[in-house]
């Protein structure tokens, strides 16, 4: 019996990898072995950075809330504590958006937090 090399399936798999790595630099886009390594690394980075994106956005929101809270005479930690005491259930994403887009509403939230602490 003759040896089956699987030419069609191999070619289809190679084409899929090379299509994925379109836009990569040098051999990483047109030599299957290098392209496969590049693809595996790219998928690994993508998986890792989906987690990191959540972390990065939370840091950004906290920075924005802190800056806006300090403009209104309060630190970030006291502000969050005051909101928890006042039973205001807004997450950091919404608070950061209010801090950037609607300063008056954010100032009112700072007042609510100050009154809850007293």
Give every CB contact of residue 98 below 8 A, 6+ residues apart in sequence. Answer: 90, 105, 106, 109
pLDDT digits (tens, 9 = 90+) for 84-113: 999 999 999 999 999 999 999 999 999 999
Contact status, residue 96 vs residue 60, Cβ threshold 8 Å: yes
Q: What are the structural domain ranges in the chain?
A: 8-117
Give the pair of three-digit tokens for residue 107.
Answer: 């100032």
pTM to 2 decimals? 0.78
Q: What CATH topology corresponds to 8-117? A: c-terminal domain of poly(a) binding protein (1.10.1900)
């Amino acid at each position: 019996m003759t040896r089956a090399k699987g030419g069609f399936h191999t070619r289809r798999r190679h084409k899929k990898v090379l299509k994925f790595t379109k836009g990569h630099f040098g051999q990483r886009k047109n030599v299957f072995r290098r392209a496969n390594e590049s693809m595996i690394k790219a998928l690994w980075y993508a998986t890792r950075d989906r987690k990191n994106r959540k972390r990065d956005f939370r840091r950004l929101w906290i920075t924005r809330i802190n800056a806006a809270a300090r403009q209104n005479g309060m630190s970030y930690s006291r502000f969050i504590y005051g909101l928890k005491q006042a039973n205001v259930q807004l997450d950091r994403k919404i608070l950061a958006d209010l801090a950037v887009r609607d300063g008056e509403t954010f100032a009112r939230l700072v007042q609510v937090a100050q009154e809850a602490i007293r």
